[in-house]
Amino acid sequence: ETGVTQTPRHLVMGMTNKKSLKCEQHLGHNAMYWYKQSAKKPLELMFVYSLEERVENNSVPSRFSPECPNSSHLFLHLHTLQPEDSALYLCASSQGHPGTFTYNEQFFGPGTRLTVL
Amino acid sequence: GIQVEQSPPDLILQEGANSTLRCNFSDSVNNLQWFHQNPWGQLINLFYIPSGTKQNGRLSATTVATERYSLLYISSSQTTDSGVYFCAVTGTASKLTFGTGTRLQVTL
Going residue by residue through chain A, which has 117 residues, state the pLDDT in tens, using 9 for 90 and above.
Answer: 689 999 999 999 998 889 999 999 999 998 899 999 998 788 989 998 887 777 777 789 999 999 999 989 999 999 999 999 999 999 999 987 665 555 688 999 999 999 999
B30 contact A CB<8A = yes
Confidence band of B30 (pLDDT split at 50, 70, 90):
confident
Return the pLDDT at A98. 62
Return the pLDDT at A99. 57
| Closest in A90, A101, A105 to B45, CB measured | A105
Return the pLDDT at B1. 83
B71 contact A CB<8A = no
The residue type at A95: Q
Radius of gyration of chain A from its Cα atoms, rounded to whole angstroms: 14
Query: What does the alpha-carbon distance between residue A8 and residue A66 come to, in Å, rounded to a whole number?
Result: 16
Return the pLDDT at A1. 66
> What phi and psi, each to the nearest 5 degrees, are found at residue B9?
-70, -30
The residue type at B50: P
A29: number of Cβ within 10 Å: 20
Decide if B76 contacts B18 (C-beta within 8 A): yes
The residue type at A91: C
Q: Nearest 5°: CA angle at B49, between B46 and B55?
A: 60
B10 contact A CB<8A = no
Average pLDDT for chain B:
94
B33 contact A CB<8A = yes
Q: Nearest 5°: CA angle at B41, between A96 and A86?
A: 95
Rounded mean pLDDT of B79-91?
A: 94
Three-state secondary structure readout of chain A: CCCEEEECCEEEECCCCEEEEEEEECCCCCEEEEEEECCCCCCEEEEEEECCEEEEECCCCCCEEEEEEECCEEEEEEECCCHHHCEEEEEEEECEECCCCEECCCEECCCEEEEEC
Closest chain A residue to the Cα of B45, Cα to Cα: A107
Per-residue pLDDT of B42-82, as tens digits, reads: 999 999 999 999 999 999 999 999 999 999 999 999 999 99
Taking an 8 Å cut-off on Cβ atoms, the answer to whether A113 and B41 are in contact is: yes
φ/ψ region of A33 (left if φ > 0, alpha if ψ in -120 to 50, else beta) reads beta
For residue A40, give every residue at least 6 positions away whose Cβ sits within 8 Å of its Cβ, in sequence order, or none: none
DSSP state letter for B30: S
Closest C-alpha among B35, B7, B5 to residue B99: B5
